[in-house]
Amino acid sequence: MRRTATAAVLALALLWPATSWALPKGAKVQNYEGGLSNAVDIAWVPGTSKIFFTQQGGKIGVIKGGRQLGRACRQLDVASDGERGALGIAVHPRFKKNHYLYVYYTNASPLENRITRFTVRNNRCRDRNNIVTGIQSASGYHNGGQLDFVGRKLFVTTGEGHSPGEAQDTSNRLGKVLRYNANGSVPNGNPFGDSNPVWTYGHRNGFGLTHNPRNGRIYQTENGPECDDELNFIRKGRNYGWGAGYDCGDPVGPNPKAPMKRWTPTIVPTDPWWYFGRFKALNDSLYMGEHNSSGRLHRFVMNNKGTRIRKDRIIYNANSSIVDVSKGPGGWLYFLTRSTLFRIVKN
């Protein structure tokens, strides 16, 4: 994630209207819950009105029935300078049975990025279990931190901690997409050895991760330097080209895989979602927000295999950085800014 927009992006932002561009006929954007502070990510419990969310300062909060509960699920002791803090959050696919909630965050002492699993009881995060530890970040930037369950395996994005060379080294966990079992152990079938959690490498700072629920294909968004923000189709064992010596449009390392889309000037793409839900006119597309500019919400229409973008449409401007997109209560499409959770519903 980047803190400022380029002059070119800011100039374009002045031309963008404050209302929707291409919402489906009869759609409207509704404020679902406000009053959040530096919100980062949400995780919905399917079939319920309950949403968990992270705030960078360490709060794991709960929204139920459209209202934020007064008591947090948990307050974590985090280092929250720069891009550190409470970051990604995910519920186990069988949450209704086991009540497992997963959070990626920068622990204050020892200073490290880690993944902790909680058991939620009465909207409180209990039975703390640090299932993945020691994902070091000497820098306050490029921490990654997104979580997504695909086929009951836990996928994780990590940044390279401002050390590009780490991204090309498959013996460490920096600048990677990782694959774990739900208990934090390493499953069989990973491409670099059964004890190695690395699934893909050559990433700068993955700030988004999602999958198509119908076929399990995985997509990642990645923040570039002054160029080359990316939307990537993630394939086992691939190199995505970031590392020492990278030049704009000129990836490094063996057989680098090109992104589905690049952005220069940069937009800072954030956490996307592949939507199938109640609003049929929005179905079967990938949605992604921008952290820079006026907070544009993209809709990517793909080919049948989901390997190529046919159309990239801006469907809304939030006038504030969008950090996450998700399906949520009622089956609607939701998107999150730093302060407010919105949803797209029918008039």
Confidence check: pLDDT of 8 > 70: no
Q: Write the pLDDT tens digit of every residue in 233-247.
A: 999 999 999 999 999
What's 309's domain CATH number? 2.120.10.30
The amino acid that residue 318 corresponds to is A
Domain of residue 216: give its range: 20-32+73-83+108-114+136-346
Phi, psi dihedrals of residue 69, rounded to the nearest 5°: -70, 145
pLDDT for res 344 = 98
Cα 124 from Cα 126, distance rounded (Å): 6
| Mean predicted lDDT score pLDDT of the chain | 93
pLDDT for res 299 = 98
**Within a domain: residue 317?**
yes
**Within a domain: residue 79?**
yes
Q: Given pLDDT bands bounded at 50, 70 and 90, which one contains residue 138?
A: confident
**Within a domain: residue 219?**
yes
pLDDT for res 190 = 98
Q: Write the pLDDT tens digit of every residue in 274-293.
A: 999 999 999 999 999 999 86
**Within a domain: residue 37?**
no
Cα 60 from Cα 55, distance rounded (Å): 7
Query: What three-state secondary structure class fits 329?
Result: helix
The CA–CA distances, whole Å, from 288 to 63, 70, 183, 275 equal 22, 30, 29, 11
Average pLDDT over residues 50-73: 98
pLDDT for res 70 = 97
Residue 183 is encoded by which pair of tokens? 């208990």
Please compute, for residue 164, the number of CA atoms within 13 A of its CA located in the half-sphere on the CB side: 14
**Within a domain: residue 4?**
no
Q: Given pLDDT bands bounded at 50, 70 and 90, which one contains residue 9?
A: very low
Residue of 269, 307, 272 whose CA lies nearest to 286 = 272
Q: Write the pLDDT tens digit of every residue in 11-39.
A: 333 333 344 468 999 999 999 999 999 99
pLDDT for res 140 = 92
Report cis status (omega within 30 of 0) of the bond before 256.
no
**Within a domain: residue 192?**
yes
CB 313 within 8 A of CB 1: no
The burial of 143, by beta-carbon neighbours within 10 Å (0-12 exposed, 13-18 middle, 19 or more buried), is given as buried
DSSP secondary structure string for all residues of 104-134: EEEETTTTEEEEEEEEEETTEEEEEEEEEEE
The CA–CA distances, whole Å, from 56 to 6, 124, 225, 338 equal 24, 18, 22, 10
**Within a domain: residue 65?**
no
Residue 147: beta bridge partners?
A: 156
pLDDT for res 21 = 64
Tell me the pTM.
Answer: 0.94
Cα 230 from Cα 261, distance rounded (Å): 6
**Within a domain: residue 284?**
yes
Cβ atoms within 10 Å, residue 327:
21
Query: pLDDT: is 9 or 166 the higher one?
Result: 166
Residue 329 is encoded by which pair of tokens? 């209560």
pLDDT for res 20 = 42
CB 172 within 8 A of CB 166: yes
Confidence check: pLDDT of 47 > 70: yes
pLDDT for res 137 = 76
Phi, psi dihedrals of residue 150, rounded to the nearest 5°: -130, 120
Counted domains in the chain: 1
